[in-house]
Structure 1
Amino acid sequence: MELHVRYEGDDDPEKCSARKLARFDLATLHRSTRTTPPGIVLDPYADRALSPADADENGSGGRIVALDCSWETAEEEAFRLDGPHRSLPFLVAANPVNYGTPFRLNTVEAFAGALRILGHRDRAEEILGKFRWGHTFLELNEEPLRRYADCEDSSDVIDVQSEYLDA
């Protein structure tokens, strides 16, 4: 799957996982919404959760699109991107800025979580391998990622997520 980032550039360039992925040719950065191709848009405000059923989503073109911007502008910016919008289910951040915080993933963690749910475990490991803490993301989230990847659709993913949120 191709990885594309609608890049706002409003964060610390030294800590930006999207920029690092681009340096290794693992993702393509786009400075405008117009140049960002359609794909499965990782949108924390979407009504539907990402599930394995989205792997065959028409209109995704085999692409995942993430928005790399401040959390303060994420909701507004995400609505401008073309493609089916999906939220990631409960996952815990492993990056040094948000370690241990649920739902506060950086761009590479969002991509890795999506890839794992969509059945691309090796690709998730490849992109996380560029970060010294990357393996920790998969270790912290091993069980939920495995369970989400075994779901049929978004409603199944929500049911599994509820078990973690209600615990």
Structure 2
Amino acid sequence: MDLHVRYEGDDDPKKCTARKLERFDLAELHRSDRATPYGVVLNPHADTALSPADADVSNLVALDCSWESAGEAMFSLPGEHRALPFLVAANPVNYGNAFQLTTVEALAAGLHILGHPEHAERILAKFTWGETFLELNAEPLDRYAACENSTEVVAVQDDYLVDEETAE
């Protein structure tokens, strides 16, 4: 599966996981919507959750931008828009925060859910905290990957959201 990133360039270049993926030839960065290929677009504002039913795609696309500018209007990319289910960040900036994933975490989660866990491990191996992301999210990622469709993924996610709410 090919990884593509619509790159905004508004984050600290030294902390940018998408740029690091590009340096290692693990993802292709695109500077415009038109240059970004059609595929499954990871979009937190999407109405449909990513599920193994989306596994027949050849391109997985993420948007790399600051969380401050990641509003719904930023996701005008062509493709099938899908939201990632509940996962916890392992990156040093947002460690332990639900849904606050870096670009590489989002792509790795997508790969795992779509049936490519080895590919997910390969891209996360470039980051000191990459293995931690897989460890923190091992159970939910495996459960999401075992679902058949978006409805099942949302049902599994609801288990984690209830746990998260009771922990607060």
TM-score between the two structures when normalised by the length of structure 2: 0.95
Deviations 1:102-123 (A, max 9, x none): 0000000000000000000000
Please give the secondary structure, in 1, of the residue aligned with 2:6. Answer: strand
- Does the alignment pair 1:65 with 2:61? yes
Question: Structure 2 counterpart of 1:9, which letter?
Answer: G
CA RMSD in angstroms, aligned pairs only: 0.7
Alignment identity in percent?
Answer: 69
Q: Can you give the 5+ residue segments of structure 1 that lack an aligned partner in the other structure? A: none
Partner of 1:41: 41
Please report how far the alpha carbon of residue 71 of structure 1 lies from its aligned counterpart in structure 2 after TM superposition.
1.9
- Superposed, 1:5-154 pairs within 5 Å as 5-56=5-56, 60=57, 62-74=58-70, 75-78=72-75, 80-154=76-150
Aligned match for 1:163, one of 142, 149, 159: 159
Question: Structure 2 counterpart of 1:69, which letter?
Answer: C
Question: Structure 2 counterpart of 1:68, which letter?
Answer: D
Q: Can you give the 5+ residue segments of structure 2 that lack an aligned partner in the other structure? A: 164-168
User: Which whole-Å CA distance do the structure 2 matches of 1:4 and 1:133 have between them?
Assistant: 22
Please report how far the alpha carbon of residue 76 of structure 1 lies from its aligned counterpart in structure 2 after TM superposition.
1.2
Question: Structure 1 counterpart of 2:50, which letter?
Answer: L
Please report how far the alpha carbon of residue 22 of structure 1 lies from its aligned counterpart in structure 2 after TM superposition.
0.1
TM-score between the two structures when normalised by the length of structure 1: 0.95
User: Which whole-Å CA distance do the structure 2 matches of 1:63 and 1:42 have between them?
Assistant: 11
